[in-house]
Amino acid sequence: MNLSVNFCGIDFPNPTVVASGYLGVTGASLANCVNSGCGGVTAKSLFMEERPGHPNPTVLTYPGGIINAVGLCGEGIKEAKHEFEVYRKKCPNNPMIGSVAGKNIKELVEVTEIMNTYPVDIIELNFSCPNVDDEMGTPIACDPLMTAEATKAIRAVTKKPISVKLSPNVSNIGLIAKHAEEAGADAITAINTVGPGMLIDIFMRKPILANKVGGVGGMGIKPIAIRCVYDIYKNVKIPIIATGGIIKGTDAIEIMMAGGSLLGIGSAIAAYDMKAFEMITEKIRTFMEEEGFSDISDLVGLAHQA
Ligand SMILES: Cc1cc2nc3c(=O)[nH]c(=O)nc-3n(C[C@H](O)[C@H](O)[C@H](O)COP(=O)(O)O)c2cc1C
């Protein structure tokens, strides 16, 4: 039974990949995920300079999922270099995806130029964070032409595979994916968080997040993620890192049938901690055995036959 995935020429031993932001950029904590069974990792998005992010509280879980307004906090790309080297040394056989962000296209290009020199296998372009609008305006991924322009500019500075991370908060995600593909993207990551959303503390009579609004992830967004991946798969030939609301192995199988080749694992970590990766991979393995599949790639896009 083959559970390995060749994605943009890079071999992943299984399809589970830590989603950006869930475990920071620390090489040791990302390596810990590999020891617990994930196929590869995505580091948190990095800007050129250190960012404090939004004030606390920034992350809340609730019965339907998880809402966050972390605000893309973290060290700058240059300070984070060591973490990529630590990870690479500890996990030579498990691919690493570096995620780049920027206040504008110029910064995105500059951060990518630096990321290009780091030991990452794929560079993910975070065009889609929904909780920094106040500072940065509407995310690039909400506009097809901006998505094309930014992808093209970044394509010019790296030969590593690039995956454009898209937002579900648009009316036609398939069209935006097509613009990314035509501008030179090798892959699409979908989706980033939905919203923004808001929760209110009824006793304090005010929004719970200090930023008032945050991006929504987790169980409740699974149908949106599946529909987005389905629409993207219909519109492009490049492969997809399917992300959003994957908690259990059956969620993973569903989103692969919609068109995902790799699985961005985020909220499953919040639900099951480090056990998430093996649980999901094991469920896929059992399903394949029971249903007579020998190669995981045969699951990808199956729901399009109907
Ligand atoms: C606390 C937190 C931080 C995140 N940080 C990033 C980030 O830095 N870059 C990024 O591209 N996505 C980030 N995301 C979005 C996730 O990678 C993912 O796309 C989204 O949460 C949907 O997956 P989920 O339903 O499994 O949470 C973050 C999500 C959460 C909850």
Domain spans, the chain: 5-305
Q: Which residue numbers are catalytic?
A: 129
Q: What count of other Cβ atoms lies within 10 Å of the Cβ of residue 300?
A: 23
Confidence band (pLDDT; 50, 70, 90) for 66? very high
* Residue 21 beta carbon below 6 angstroms from any ligand 1 atom: yes
Answer whether CATH 3.30.70.580 is correct for domain 5-305: no
Residue of the nearest CA to atom 22 in ligand 1?
244
How far CA 20 is from CA of 165, 168, 296, in Å, comes to 10, 16, 23
pLDDT at residue 206 is higher than 90:
yes
pLDDT at residue 304 is higher than 90:
yes
Q: What is the average pLDDT across 240-266?
A: 98
- Reported as half-sphere exposure (CB side, CA atoms, 13 A), residue 40 has a value of 25
Q: Which residue has the higher pLDDT, 54 or 249?
A: 249
Whether 16 and 272 have beta carbons less than 8 Å apart is answered as no
* Residue 244 beta carbon below 6 angstroms from any ligand 1 atom: yes
Smallest CA-to-CA distance from 100 within 80, 70, 130 is with: 80
Residue of the nearest CA to atom 6 in ligand 1?
21
Q: Give the DSSP letter of residue 167.
A: P
- Cα(80) to centroid(ligand 1), Å: 19
Q: Residue 13: which residues within 8 A CB-CB, separation 6 or more?
A: 3, 4, 39, 93, 94
Confidence band (pLDDT; 50, 70, 90) for 24? confident
* Residue 42 beta carbon below 6 angstroms from any ligand 1 atom: no
- Cα(19) to centroid(ligand 1), Å: 6
- Cα(16) to centroid(ligand 1), Å: 15
Q: Is the dihedral of CA 111, 126, 218, 300 positive or negative?
A: negative
Least confident among 117-121, 187-191, 210-214: 210-214
Whether 32 and 143 have beta carbons less than 8 Å apart is answered as no
pLDDT at residue 155 is higher than 70:
yes
- Cα(190) to centroid(ligand 1), Å: 11
| Ligand 1 atom index nearest CA of 165 | 11
* Residue 266 beta carbon below 6 angstroms from any ligand 1 atom: yes
Query: What per-residue confidence (pLDDT) applies to 74?
Result: 85
Residue of the nearest CA to atom 21 in ligand 1?
217
- Cα(45) to centroid(ligand 1), Å: 10
| Ligand 1 atom index nearest CA of 218 | 25
| Structure tokens given for 283 | 């469920």
* pLDDT tens, residue by residue, 104-141: 999 999 999 999 999 999 999 999 876 676 677 789 99
Q: Which residue has the higher pLDDT, 132 or 153?
A: 153
pLDDT at residue 93 is higher than 80:
yes
Residue type, 99: S
Percent of the chain scored above 70 by pLDDT? Answer: 98
* Residue 98 beta carbon below 6 angstroms from any ligand 1 atom: no
Q: Residue 109: which residues within 8 A CB-CB, separation 6 or more?
A: 102, 153, 154, 156, 157
pLDDT at residue 301 is higher than 90:
yes
Q: What mean pLDDT is reported for the chain?
A: 95
pLDDT at residue 275 is higher than 70:
yes
Query: What per-residue confidence (pLDDT) applies to 306?
Result: 63
Q: What is the average pLDDT across 200-217?
A: 95
